[in-house]
Amino acid sequence: MPEREPRFADHKQGQYSDGSPLDEVQYLECKLILRPDRFTAAKVFFEYGKLVARTAKEFGIRFINKGVILKPEIREVLFLDTTDFRLYNHAFILRRRIAYEDGFPAEEPEIVFKFRHPDIQKAADLDVRPNIAGNYRIKFKAETLPLKDQVGGYRLLFSHNVQFP
């Protein structure tokens, strides 16, 4: 029997302990996990684009790649956790990301704390707002990802994040 698809309608309104309304999903992000060892030159990206275009056409999906110019971006990404992966094993991610231009950091590091869960209500109920002074941005999104253990299909995770500049 097929699993019931998670729906955005499953999200019930509520509030955090200070009375603020629960965050709502702001957008849908579709992720495709690619093995980096195959992408060794610009021409490989364009070959991959042709494959994607053929597949999209087969399924009646519009694919536009006109005017695409490859300009690689270098980013350093560091995931932080305890030695026994306590954060990850409880659906949390703590990440630092630094963008580089011409070999030098281009801006301040971005720190993101995420709670990712397949249950929209559990994700919404977790208050990710920090109790510290300073700027931050809250994002609540649905993420589609490939299935972990088989080819074909997707899984949906709800990602409730706080991002620090």
Give the span between the Cα atoms of 145 and 153, in whole angstroms: 9
pLDDT value for 8 = 66
Contacts 24+ apart (CB under 8 A), 31-34: 31/143, 31/144, 31/145, 31/146, 32/146, 33/145, 33/146
Mean pLDDT for 136-158 is: 91
Q: What is the pTM of this model?
A: 0.77
34-78: pLDDT as tens digits: 888 888 888 898 899 899 999 999 999 998 888 888 888 889 999
Collect all residues with Cβ–Cβ distance below 8 Å to 61 and sequence separation of at least 6.
Answer: none
Do residues 143 and 116 lie in contact, with contact meaning Cβ atoms separated by under 8 Å? yes
Do residues 21 and 13 lie in contact, with contact meaning Cβ atoms separated by under 8 Å? yes
pLDDT value for 9 = 65
Q: Among 136, 137, 115, which Cα is nearest to 124's? A: 115
Strands 110-117 and 104-105: unpaired
pLDDT value at 150 more than 90: no
pLDDT value for 77 = 96
DSSP, res 128: -
pLDDT value at 5 more than 80: no
Do residues 44 and 159 lie in contact, with contact meaning Cβ atoms separated by under 8 Å? no
Give the span between the Cα atoms of 47 and 44, in whole angstroms: 5
pLDDT value for 2 = 46
CA-based angle 40:98:25, to the nearest 5? Answer: 95
CA-based angle 60:64:67, to the nearest 5? Answer: 170
